[in-house]
Amino acid sequence: MTEQKQVCRCNICGNMVEVLRTGGGTLVCCGHPMEILKEKDGDVGPEKHIPIMEKTEFGVKVKVGSVPHPMEENHYIEWIELIVDGKIYRKYFSPGDKPEAEFELKSDETSEIRAREYCTIHGLWRS
């Protein structure tokens, strides 16, 4: 199973990094430790964040979420990531975009598949 990569955020300047390999140290930005984002998987409020995957003719479509998430200036889905058999695909969004992405996959690429997304207000979520 492919390891889910850590996502870290600086809560001062907004820098965000995905860790290609996790070592033992603490990532620091703006003089403070970066926050390691915890993946959430249970919706509670009216907005739905859990990425929903659907098989399509060419691959997989990922929607956020069961009810489309708002895509407002200060509250939107910034990216959706699909993790398939050791490969990571990512699509970025802007306010006003539709919070869904279709990823083209070869038919033999679907044995292990997961999705996650980042909401600018509510953080990191996984399927």
| Among the residue ranges 12-20, 24-32, 39-47, 110-118, the one whose residues contact Fe ion (CB under 5 A) | 39-47
DSSP code at position 121 = T
DSSP line for 93-107:
--TTS-SEEEEE--G
Give the shortest CB-122-to-Fe ion separation in angstroms. Answer: 4
Give the shortest CB-59-to-Fe ion separation in angstroms. Answer: 25
Cβ nearer to Fe ion, comparing 29 with 64? 64
Cβ nearer to Fe ion, comparing 20 with 44? 44
The answer to whether residue 122 forms part of the interface with Fe ion (CB under 5 A) is: yes
Cβ nearer to Fe ion, comparing 113 with 117? 117
The answer to whether residue 64 forms part of the interface with Fe ion (CB under 5 A) is: no
- Non-local CB neighbours of 38 within 8 Å, separated by 6+ positions: 123, 124
The answer to whether residue 40 forms part of the interface with Fe ion (CB under 5 A) is: no
Long-range contacts: 31-38, Cβ < 8 Å, 24+?
A: 34/8, 34/9, 34/10, 35/8, 35/9, 35/10, 35/11, 36/6, 36/7, 36/8, 37/6, 37/7, 37/8, 37/9, 37/118, 37/123, 37/124, 38/123, 38/124
Cβ nearer to Fe ion, comparing 74 with 111? 74
Give the shortest CB-5-to-Fe ion separation in angstroms. Answer: 21
Interface residue with Fe ion, options 29, 82, 84, 119 (CB under 5 A)? 119
